[in-house]
Amino acid sequence: MHLISPRIAMVGMALLALVLCAFQAFAGGGGEQVLAAASAAPQAASMTWKGWTAVGLIVMLLVLLASNRFPVDVLVIGTVALMVFLGLLAPKEALAGMSNEGMITVAVLYVVVCGLQETGAIEWLGTKLLGKPKGGILAKLRLLLPVSVMSGFMNNTPLVAMYIPMLSDWCRRHRISPSKMMLPLSYAAIMGGTLTLIGTSTNLVITGKWIDSGLVETHGRLHFFEIAMIGLPCLIFGTLYMLFIGTRILPERLPVLDADTDARSYTVEFEVEQGGPLAGKTIEQAGLRGLANLFLSEIEREGQLLPAVSPKEVLRGQDRLFFVGQLESIVDLQKIRGLCSVDNQSRKLGSPRPQRTLVEAVVSNTCPLLGRTVREGRFRNVYDAVVIAVARNGERVKGKIGDIELRVGDTLLLEAPMSFIEQHRNSRDFFLVSKVENARPLRHEKAGLALAIMLGMILIATLEPFGFKMLHAAVLAAGCMVVLRCCTASQARRAVDWQVATIIAASLALGKSLEVTGAAAAIGGSLVDLVGSHPWLVLLTVYLCTMLLTEVVTNNGAAVLMFSIAFEAAAKVGADFRPFAFAIMMAASASFSTPIGYQTNLMVMGPGGYRFGDYFRVGIPLNLSMWLITCLLIPFIWPLQATR
């Protein structure tokens, strides 16, 4: 029941924000006031059956979304389809969101992030920035600041997805409870997204609506860093809140998914790349000390073994490092720049690196290489695969990989072409062949290039040379990622979250339904009737309604719905719409009180071991604080009164 009650409460508040405003316009004298404004805003004169039907369908959608029983994309698209069937929307209006500039920019940015991920650039940055802090406050600060800054320039969903496994391992190494770090990770990504117009999909969607509504000609363009004038003060406050208050409220819990359940112990051998980034560094500086579920057992240097390696030992090129650990840690180890397979065996494979993956194969009793070592059996030549590590009944397998004698039941971790699985799935040489998820070899040599492309995109979006806009910058960056082989075309295609893109496009259609049926004008007018004609009070109410809707609907859906309503409300009180647009961006992005309000909040729920009530305790004070900070600062940055 602790999950149901908070949802019911949030649904009630959200419905109050949307429905009562509409009802007020036609009950208790509100209708006459709206009708009186017909000369100034003809659409606000009355709301026909189409307007009431549109509001009713959206209310029904909110209730179904809050129940969390049905897929979001199915519900949103189904509602739009029903509106078309009932004649509330023309087919052209329903599909217009597919060509929205903000929606397209969101989709293209997934390709840019794909290039950063496939080259290991994001992971390298995150590892460098997290470091090895000595205190709790410093540990949280080294998490919050880098994530906030990176989130300002890339979509925060893949950023959080990349950080979760890395942060889980980091917490285990430093004996910090994940529940103290995972929610701050999500909040930092959310707050950092308010620094630029590309920081969140919400900002991009509102920018697209701004362009589609013709506001560029009348109100000017929204500039790349303009929102930072509000976002930066909110980020500073939010960071201080999480450092000194929020993390103290958070409980210490174990995650739902415990990565320590894998009992297999692999023996793996790597070589320090000659002239690589690890050569000349100590074991500790290279990040090879205190790894989660993995330890460096010994080093072979010029034919001599160095057991009980000191963390101060300086690595040299062509040093052979022997590790013992679990699969996930071995996979992470392989992604470290500067480590390569012994004798560069991987480079001798017939397929290029982007077309390879990691595979687990269990040796069968009919394998022709039984009783022979990996080297004697010429494993690479026979199977076109390189043995990365060996696991045997949970015991440590001593010696070099090439000198290990294969036995029945040995589990081999292989780097192999993607075709290996299909070729050997039914082979009698192996009992089982399975792909290791998220284990594609990274193109470390392209990491610097990927970072340069991202920086170039930011510069173009900021300086706007030759009239280039955010979409131009994103498309150019995505094209460079593919053409320069930071990621392949197939990887780029798979990287786009088409579900998110579809939901955004359908949400835009829902907002359009409020416009064309006159519901937005009526609800906007009723907001003014409820709070008076003072622009600041209207701004305060618009932010509150957007914030409540965001906690139970998708942030993009809430932003689109409130955009049309806020435009009508601002027009009625003679206010400039620009500050209202930024207020909606902030309110729709600053979602902290529920896991269903923002995708990153839901993503960290399992790894952090959170319950629904944890979000309420930590998030509600932060939500209210952001509301007050934003609405107090906006009048000093953008005048509310429209210039005539």
Q: Which range (44-48, 98-102, 631-635) has the least confidence?
A: 44-48
Residue type, 582: F
pLDDT of residue 2: 41
Q: Where does the pLDDT of residue 13 fall: very low under 50, low under 70, confident under 90, or very high at 90 and above?
A: very low
Q: Where does the pLDDT of residue 227 fall: very low under 50, low under 70, confident under 90, or very high at 90 and above?
A: very high
Mutual orientation of helices 4-24 and 49-67 as an angle, nearest 10°?
170
More confident residue, 317 or 100: 317
Mean of the pLDDT values across residues 284-291?
72
**Residue 434: helix, strand or coil by DSSP?**
strand
Mean of the pLDDT values across residues 138-143?
81
Chain centre distance of CA 141 = 20
Q: Is the pLDDT of residue 448 over 90?
A: no
Q: Are 585 and 157 in contact (CB under 8 A)?
A: no
Q: Which range (153-157, 452-456, 492-496) has the least confidence?
A: 153-157
Q: Where does the pLDDT of residue 240 fall: very low under 50, low under 70, confident under 90, or very high at 90 and above?
A: very high
Q: Are 246 and 184 in contact (CB under 8 A)?
A: yes
Pairing of strands 294-301, 320-325: antiparallel
Q: Is the pLDDT of residue 515 over 50?
A: yes
Mean of the pLDDT values across residues 313-324?
83
Exposed e or buried b per residue across 25-52, where buried means at least 16 C-beta atoms within 10 angstroms of its C-beta: bbeeebbebbeebeeebebbbebeebbb
- To the nearest whole number, what is the mean pLDDT of the chain? 77
Q: Are 405 and 367 in contact (CB under 8 A)?
A: no
Backbone angles phi, psi at 419, to 5 degrees: -75, -10
Q: Are 253 and 610 in contact (CB under 8 A)?
A: yes
The 10s digit of each residue's pLDDT in 98-119 is: 877 777 877 888 888 888 878 8
pLDDT of residue 631: 93
Q: Is the pLDDT of residue 35 over 80?
A: no
The 10s digit of each residue's pLDDT in 415-431 is: 888 788 888 888 888 88
pLDDT of residue 553: 60
More confident residue, 25 or 105: 105
pLDDT of residue 21: 47
pLDDT of residue 43: 38
Residue type, 166: M
**Which of 82-91, 98-107, 117-126, 411-420 ranks highest by mean pLDDT?**
82-91
pLDDT of residue 236: 95
Cα separation, 387 vs 361, whole angstroms = 10
Nearest to 331 by CA among 257, 178, 404, 437: 437
The 10s digit of each residue's pLDDT in 187-205 is: 999 999 899 888 887 888 8
Q: Are 487 and 353 in contact (CB under 8 A)?
A: no
pLDDT of residue 597: 64
**Which of 473-482, 493-502, 506-515, 541-550 ranks highest by mean pLDDT?**
473-482
Residue type, 345: Q
pLDDT of residue 188: 93
Q: Where does the pLDDT of residue 36 fall: very low under 50, low under 70, confident under 90, or very high at 90 and above?
A: very low
Both structure tokens of 339: 């480590």
**Residue 229: helix, strand or coil by DSSP?**
helix
pLDDT of residue 440: 65
Count of positions (residues) in the chain: 644
Q: Is the pLDDT of residue 262 over 70?
A: no
Residue corresponding to tokens 């697209």? 208
Residue type, 202: T
Q: Is the pLDDT of residue 552 over 60?
A: no
Q: Which range (20-34, 51-65, 443-457) has the least confidence?
A: 20-34
CATH number (3.30.1490.100, 3.30.70.1450, 3.30.70.2860, 3.30.420.40) of 265-325+336-441 reads 3.30.70.1450
Task: Determine what percent of the chain is predicted with pLDDT higher than 70.
Answer: 78
Q: Are 193 and 199 in contact (CB under 8 A)?
A: yes
pLDDT of residue 377: 86
| Structural domain spans, the chain | 4-101+499-637, 106-201+215-255+445-485, 265-325+336-441
Cα separation, 205 vs 546, whole angstroms = 15
The 10s digit of each residue's pLDDT in 336-374 is: 777 877 656 666 666 666 677 788 888 888 888 888 888
Q: Is the pLDDT of residue 3 over 70?
A: no
Instruction: Please state the three-class secondary structure of 81-96 as a single string.
Output: HHHHHCCCCCHHHHHH
Q: Is the pLDDT of residue 627 over 90?
A: yes
Cα separation, 301 vs 281, whole angstroms = 15
Nearest to 179 by CA among 624, 620, 622, 618: 618
pLDDT of residue 135: 59
Mean of the pLDDT values across residues 536-559?
80
pLDDT of residue 230: 94
Q: Is the pLDDT of residue 384 over 80?
A: yes
Mean of the pLDDT values across residues 70-76?
79
Cα separation, 291 vs 306, whole angstroms = 19
> Is residue 574 left, alpha or beta, with left meaning phi > 0 and alpha meaning psi from -120 to 50?
left
pLDDT of residue 184: 92
Cα separation, 443 vs 454, whole angstroms = 16
More confident residue, 399 or 207: 207
More confident residue, 250 or 123: 250
Pairing of strands 266-272, 386-391: antiparallel
**Which of 45-54, 150-159, 373-382, 556-565 ranks highest by mean pLDDT?**
373-382
pLDDT of residue 581: 93
pTM over cut 0.75:
no
Task: Determine what percent of the chain is predicted with pLDDT higher than 90.
Answer: 11
